[in-house]
Structure 1
């Protein structure tokens, strides 16, 4: 009689990944129960897909005012489903290509803002004492001043362009994330396993990278989702004020609204020129908010129970 061979022991890394996969599956099932979150995710997927496929389904040369084929402010028709602007370019084409710029700026500026806020919040909570005092006073200074005013000042001083807009938004919108991360880090570092890690000789880098940061990731992810909408609104505001990219081949939804205002679209009753970028901004911001709130309820047991 042969004795069956014992199964090889599972490595700790494999067990960790298995637990993460199970946690992700549970989170996804809970997220799928949030109807608003699913709707927002579908809207975002469609908008991002259209933005990515814009070079495939459209011709970028149509953004050039010297190659416009329509008349000035033509109403919607078969050739131009959303009409044309003053130079005769397709408003639908402008809206699709503007989505690429607005979404790119929103995502990049948010990542920069969250990275700065997370770093400052963790350092302030972990080291405490004078480090926390200095970092929190800097944070309070940025919180007191309106972020939009600071962004306008930076955009005015630096050269106009997409990079300037990203820096202006990212460098002025991090304080809220820093205070939130600091509060959560203080809660995490008060847990027994953090004390155990320090007693076993874990240094600052080990505690932050192996224990604090992984516990913060869900909060940071939710905060990132909610902050993208605000970054898109900030980009649209700066572009509407004339501080965006001056290149007409790289439009954004904010620059479309500025062009519609300068071309007196309201006076000319050219609603098709004004509404598409405004509706696009509203839909994207609403979708990000819906997804962020759904994720917040999934990751926060108290909200889920409520």
Structure 2
């Protein structure tokens, strides 16, 4: 005869069950956000295009020597979005450029949120002189124009994708740090934090096991919102000529169009596709971020 102890699930199994139930509950609530579903659908399509771009357009789409068309050719059956000043297919360039723009935006957002979360959690936990110093540094970054700092970093460093990611990531973290610190201070007032400390839990235990899991929903929502800003920042740096000239990105296409005189010549097909792609993807990430924020923040759900 089996005992209750033998049939009871293990703590790890219970934790997995709770995580699965939490994910299922999140998805049910997220599906109720129609705008978030629209944004998620657009992002899924863009991710598929970026992932399978070599199959759709080929890896030689950015080659100048093997350009298939005439320079600055208007849209036609052979070239739905026309060609650039080198005769390259703009539709293929826009699809290929999504790989760089999405990758840089995602990596820069992850770096920014990681820095902000680290500073926010530690400043909220340790308090005292450490929190004062960290928050003054955060305030300095907040009052400084983010784009100006990113341009300054991109100027003094070598022109590469790593430089772009670092320039965006290290200048956009202060907002996350402020939000995470406020949430950390709220979490550490709860009774179970005091019990954990009374039972001998050290600083790392409290921050990693109790504080961080409670601020992760805020971090997730903040990440989706920052990605759109990071994509716009990458496009701006590339448009200013501070991106990697050896890769194709949406901002780089806009910079090429400016250099080719597409604005004065009225070659709209050179400007509209990459600009529209940037706007659509940034809007999609913003819609997803707002939906995630509405699901994870009960106050927003009640107010609606």
Please state which band the TM-score falls in when normalised by the shorter chain.
over 0.9
Match of 1:252 among 249, 253, 256: 249
Separation in 2 of the partners of 1:303 and 1:259? 43
- Report what 1:241 is aligned to: 240
- Report what 2:286 is aligned to: 289
- Report what 1:265 is aligned to: 262
Whether 1:91 aligns to 2:123 is no
Matched residues, number:
302
Separation in 2 of the partners of 1:303 and 1:140? 27
- State how 1:169-248 maps to structure 2 within 5 Å: 169-247=168-246
TM-score, structure 1 as length reference = 0.96
- Report what 1:68 is aligned to: 67
- State how 1:74-153 maps to structure 2 within 5 Å: 74-153=73-152
Separation in 1 of the partners of 2:142 and 2:250? 27
C-alpha deviation, 1:57, in angstroms = 1.6
C-alpha deviation, 1:81, in angstroms = 1.1
Separation in 2 of the partners of 1:246 and 1:29? 44
C-alpha deviation, 1:4, in angstroms = 7.3
TM-score, structure 2 as length reference = 0.97
Separation in 2 of the partners of 1:60 and 1:5? 63
Separation in 1 of the partners of 2:195 and 2:229? 40
Separation in 2 of the partners of 1:4 and 1:180? 50
Structure 1 residue matching 2:116: 3-state secondary structure? helix
Separation in 2 of the partners of 1:98 and 1:57? 13
Say if 2:154 and 2:164, in contact at 8 Å, map to a contact too: yes
Separation in 2 of the partners of 1:65 and 1:228? 31
- Report what 2:273 is aligned to: 276
Cα-to-partner distance string for 1:264-293 (whole Å, 9 max, x where unaligned): 112222111110000000100100010010
Whether 1:302 aligns to 2:296 is no
Instruction: Give the alignment's Cα RMSD to 1 decimal.
Output: 1.1
C-alpha deviation, 1:236, in angstroms = 0.5
C-alpha deviation, 1:5, in angstroms = 6.8
C-alpha deviation, 1:12, in angstroms = 1.4
Cα-to-partner distance string for 1:198-236 (whole Å, 9 max, x where unaligned): 010000000011000111111100000000000000000
Structure 1 stretches of 4+ moved >6 Å: none
Cα-to-partner distance string for 1:247-269 (whole Å, 9 max, x where unaligned): 1xx11111101111111112222
Separation in 2 of the partners of 1:43 and 1:163? 26
Separation in 1 of the partners of 2:154 and 2:64? 26
C-alpha deviation, 1:16, in angstroms = 1.6
C-alpha deviation, 1:15, in angstroms = 1.1
Say if 2:57 and 2:96, in contact at 8 Å, map to a contact too: no
C-alpha deviation, 1:62, in angstroms = 2.4
Return 5+ residue gaps in structure 2 as ranges: none
